[in-house]
């Protein structure tokens, strides 16, 4: 769990007593490549910390799965609406690499809000996720798939190497063959 502690400390000062309370709330889980962490139609029961691995969020539309985004370790994740409202999720979360994940229930997370450090951490993390979400939406609305790929190549080249072509193509909203042409053109 040391990586989780280091992750929280990037956002806030974390007294040892607070860390001890946080650590007690999280349980370790191992997911293999291809495992579904959350299935569409099921309620997301946990807030997660991804210690190692890579995840893909996706939805189904017209019989196809469409990649929404990826989460790379180390980072926290959940299906926010499903987790906080306890309603069924509209998305799936899949491990696309073997992953080590720590999880806590909604009750445990709500109890942690008694800690000032957890409040600071959660607030700053939510703001960061909001920023990334707005950035992704703006790119989808204003950039071509080729330009989005170029930006990812420039800013996240190592991550690109880890994501299967079919998932990347889905994320950019194009066929795998189109992504192959873009990659060939840029190489």
Task: Please tell me the predicted confidence (pLDDT) of residue 187.
Answer: 82
* Encoded tokens for 173: 């909203």
Continuous segment of H or E residues that includes residue 94: strand 92-95
Global pTM reads 0.93
- Of 115, 61, 121, 122, which is closest to residue 92 (Cα–Cα)? 61
Parse the chain into domains and list their residue ranges. Answer: 2-142, 143-187
- Of 84, 20, 106, which is closest to residue 8 (Cα–Cα)? 20
* CATH number 2.60.120.10 given to 2-142: yes
Helices (H), the chain: 2-9, 16-25, 80-85, 106-112, 116-142, 145-155, 157-162, 165-172, 176-186
Question: Please, what is the angle between helix 165-172 and helix 176-186, to 10°?
Answer: 100
Dihedral sign for Cα atoms in the order 96, 70, 173, 150: negative
* Encoded tokens for 23: 């650590």
pLDDT in tens, the chain (187 residues): 999 999 999 999 999 999 999 999 999 999 999 999 999 999 999 999 999 999 999 999 888 899 999 999 999 999 999 999 999 999 999 999 999 999 999 999 999 999 999 999 999 999 999 999 999 899 989 999 999 999 999 999 999 999 999 999 999 999 999 999 999 998 8
């Amino acid at each position: 769990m040391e990586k989780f502690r280091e992750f929280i400390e990037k956002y806030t000062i974390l007294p040892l007593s607070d860390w001890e309370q946080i650590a007690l709330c999280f349980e370790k889980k191992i997911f293999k490549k291809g495992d579904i962490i959350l299935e569409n139609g099921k309620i997301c029961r946990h807030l997660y910390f991804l210690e190692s691995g890579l995840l893909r969020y996706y939805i189904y539309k017209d019989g196809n799965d469409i990649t929404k985004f990826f989460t790379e370790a180390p980072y926290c994740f959940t299906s926010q609406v499903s987790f906080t409202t306890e309603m069924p999720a509209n998305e799936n979360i899949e491990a696309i690499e073997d992953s080590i994940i720590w999880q806590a229930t909604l009750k445990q997370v709500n109890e942690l809000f008694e800690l000032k450090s957890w409040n600071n951490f959660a607030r700053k993390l939510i703001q960061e996720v909001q920023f990334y979400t707005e950035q992704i939406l703006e790119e989808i609305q204003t950039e071509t798939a080729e330009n989005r790929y170029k930006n990812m190549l420039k800013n996240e080249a190592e991550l690109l190497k880890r994501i299967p072509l079919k998932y990347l193509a889905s994320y950019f909203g194009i066929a795998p063959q189109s992504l192959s042409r873009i990659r060939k053109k840029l190489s």
